[in-house]
Amino acid sequence: MSLSYPLLAVRNLRKHFSKSKGFLRKSSGVFKAVDDVNFDIHAGTTLGLVGESGSGKTTIGKCVIRLMEPTGGEILFENSDISRLARSALQEKRADMQMIYQSPAASLNGRMTVGQIIAEPLLVHQGIKGLEARRQVLELLDTVGLKEEHYFRYPHEFSGGQQQRIGIARALSVKPKLLVLDEPTSALSVRETERVLKYIVELKKEDISSIFVTHNLYQAFQVCDRFVVMSHGRKIFEKNKGDTSLEEVTEHVIKV
C-alpha cells in the first residue's frame, strides 16, 4: 500500500557545532555542518547523497535516524516529527530506521559470533530468541549470500565484503523501512562492491527505502532514484535520475 505522503520528509535540517580555540577552548563562532537542507524519500526508493568529503552527507544520515541530535528543522518519518522525540519514544522507532556503516569491522562486535550479532536486534526489538531466532538468522545469511556454517564464526574470520554483508543482514533482521548506507562500499573489492550494490537494488522490491551516502557518482547512478548534491553543508542540486545524467551531477560536484 503506497503512502499519500513521503516515508521521510526532511525540512530545514540544521546541524551546527560551536567552534573553539585557545587553551581555554573559548567559543569562536559556529560551524554549519548541515544548513537548511530539505528533501523527501518515498517508500521503495533510494536517495543518493553525494558530494565532496566534509560536505555534510554523513551528518545528515546520522541526524535523520537521531544518532546525532539536529540543531533545528523537522524530520518527518511516516508524517510524524521525530526530531524532538524523547529517547524512550524514539526507541520504538529504532527498528524502522537502520544504518549500515562505512567500516563494517568497526560496527561488528568482535566478541560475538555472526549468529549472535544478527540475532541481537531480533531479541531487543521483537523479543524473538531461541530456535525461531536461529531460523530467521539462517534465512538472513542465505539472503546476503552467506552460509549456515558461518553462523558460529567471528567477524575477524571474514573479508571486508563479507563483514559488510553481515552488517546488512543485521539491519534487515528487524525489517526496517529506511536504511542509511554510509559509504558502504568504500573498503570493498570490485567484486564485493558489485554484490553489495545488487543487494541495495533488491531492497526496493521489499519496499525498503534507502539513503545512499557516497562520493562515488558511478555507483550512485547504479542504485539511486534521486540525487542530492551537497557542498559545505548546503544542498546545491537535486533531481530525479530520469531528469538528469551522470555528467550533469558530476559537473555540480566538480564545480564546488
How crowded is residue 220: how many other Cβ atoms within 10 Å of its Cβ?
22
What average pLDDT score do residues 4-20 get? 91
pLDDT at 104: 79
Residue 118 domain boundaries: 8-254
Cα–Cα distance measured from residue 191 to residue 165, given in angstroms and rounded to the nearest whole number: 13
Q: What residue type is assigned to position 245 of the chain?
A: S
| Residue 91 falls inside a structural domain | yes
pLDDT at residue 26 in the model = 63
Find the mean pLDDT for residues 77-106: 87
Task: Name the band, by pLDDT with cuts 50, 70 and 90, for residue 24.
Answer: low
**pLDDT above 70: residue 190:** yes
Mean pLDDT for the chain? 90
* C-alpha to C-alpha distance for 158 and 4, rounded to whole angstroms: 43
Assigned domain for 1 exists? no
Rounded-to-integer distance, Cα 65 and Cα 51, Å: 20
Amino acid letter, 24: L
Domain count, the chain: 1
pLDDT band at 212, cuts 50/70/90? very high
Q: Answer yes or no: is 198 within a domain.
A: yes
Q: Say if residue 95's pLDDT is above 90.
A: no
d(CA 186, CA 165): 14
Residue 230 above 70 pLDDT? Answer: yes
209 grid coordinates: 527505502
Please give the Cα distance from 172 to 47 (Å, whole number).
18
Q: Is 3 within the bounds of a domain?
A: no
Percentages of the chain per state (helix, strand, coil), in multiples of 5:
40, 30, 30
* 61 within domain boundaries: yes
**Domain CATH number, residue 81:** 3.40.50.300
pLDDT band at 85, cuts 50/70/90?
A: confident
72 domain residue, yes or no:
yes
Q: What is the mean pLDDT of residues 131-157?
A: 93
Residue 179: its pLDDT value, please? 94
